[in-house]
Amino acid sequence: MMLLGFMGSQEIVIILLVSLVFFVIPIIALVDILQSEFEGNNKLIWVLVILLTWFLGAILYYFIGRKQKIE
């Protein structure tokens, strides 16, 4: 069955799942940042990086920023 003239229901489901992933990962990163302690202004910087670059900022935070948290 073709919806919208060119996409079937399978394509719409795939697009929705991919969109959900690209929306949820930055939200999880923001929650992790806000619940953690950082030295100086690192918390503010990471929040701004994620808000300005969204998915790329979240990936950078997971690889770089999590090591900067105060235990």
Structure tokens at 14: 């795939």
Helix (H, G, I), strand (E, B) or coil at 38: strand
Res 53: pLDDT:
96
Q: How far is CA 4 from CA 11, 13, 18, 20, 38, in A?
A: 11, 13, 19, 21, 48
Give the tens place of pLDDT for each residue, 41-67.
999 999 999 999 999 999 999 999 999
Q: What is the pTM of this model?
A: 0.82
Element (H, E) at 3: strand 2-3
